[in-house]
Amino acid sequence: GENVEQHPSTLSVQEGDSAVIKCTYSDSASNYFPWYKQELGKGPQLIIDIRSNVGEKKDQRIAVTLNKTAKHFSLHITETQPEDSAVYFCAAPLHMRFGAGTRLTVKP
Amino acid sequence: DGGITQSPKYLFRKEGQNVTLSCEQNLNHDAMYWYRQDPGQGLRLIYYSQIVNDFQKGDIAEGYSVSREKKESFPLTVTSAQKNPTAFYLCATSYGAQGAEAFFGQGTRLTVV
């Protein structure tokens, strides 16, 4: 399957700060780049995604940016809030694989 | 109420016993997947099915088996050959086989004692 690397594995920020999580993929044929949020004891849910024909997509406080040349895409969360604390996963749907996850903690 | 139903939420089994985890969906999705998640770890693909009566091994298929006799159902059997079966198991579906959003069930936490 495709190699998907996600960094960092843990991230702690102060409430109101920004958080950035990066995902690197290997298959240049990939054309869909999603991010999922998993809360404790639940299944992951899609929070934002992007197709390869655009470089950035925003939805209120979250955004995803894509660099196809470098084969990486990033999740940006601005004005973080305690409820943003969760585990975030990137995915390579072309091969049904997920990154190892990033545990984000937002401190009040 | 559309979605993916995994049952049971918690499951306890004795070592050496086979156990089957249920996954049912009414989203009319063709593709279904099983993932294993260990504490503090990512999602590892066990098996996937892109169409009824067909399925493929994922990265950690040893000790597991599946069937896909109906579009709505993709049960996972954890056999006694699985050396360390205690984990959180997640079932997912997607509309297309690839390049589409995955929808997840709420998971089954299996504990083998």
Give chain B positions within 8 Å (CB) of A49: 101
Please tell me the predicted confidence (pLDDT) of residue B5: 96
Q: Do B102 and A89 touch (CB under 8 A)?
A: no
* A43 closest CB neighbour out of B59, B99, B106: B106
Strand A10-14 versus strand A102-107 pairing type: parallel
- pLDDT at position A79 is 98
* Chain A residues within 8 A of B101 when measuring between CB atoms: 34, 46, 49, 93
Over residues B39-95, the pLDDT tens digits come to 888 999 999 999 999 999 999 999 999 999 999 999 999 999 998 999 999 999 998
Bridge partners of residue B12, in order along the sequence: B111
Task: Report chain A residues whose CB lies below 8 A from the CB of B58.
Answer: 1, 96
Across the interface, of A42, A46, A99, the residue whose CB is closest to B42 is: A99
Give B107→chain A minimum CA distance, Å. Answer: 6
Count of A–B CB contacts within 8 Å? Answer: 59
In a mutagenesis test of the B interface, which of A96, A97, A104 is the best target, namely the one with the most B β-carbons within 10 Å?
Answer: A96
Query: Any CB–CB contact under 8 A between A44 and chain B?
Result: yes
Task: For B11-42, write each residue's pLDDT tens digit.
Answer: 999 999 999 999 999 999 999 999 999 988 89
CA A72, chain centre distance (Å): 11
Over the Cα atoms of chain A, what is R_g?
A: 13
pLDDT digits (tens, 9 = 90+) for A62-102: 999 999 999 999 999 999 999 999 999 999 877 789 999 99
Cβ proximity of B4 and B101 under 8 Å? no
What's the gap in Å between the CA of A46 and the closest CA on chain B? 7
Q: What percent of chain B has pLDDT over 90?
A: 84
The answer to whether the Cβ–Cβ distance between A1 and B101 falls below 8 Å is no
3-class secondary structure, B76: strand
The pLDDT value given to residue B97 = 63
Helix, strand counts (H, E) of chain B: 0, 11
How high is the pLDDT of residue B70?
Answer: 97
Which of B33, B42, B59 lies closest to A1 in CB terms?
Answer: B59
Q: Strand B64-66 relative to strand B10-13: parallel, antiparallel, unpaired?
A: unpaired
Q: Does A29 touch chain B (CB under 8 A)?
A: no
User: Is B2's pLDDT higher than 70?
Assistant: no
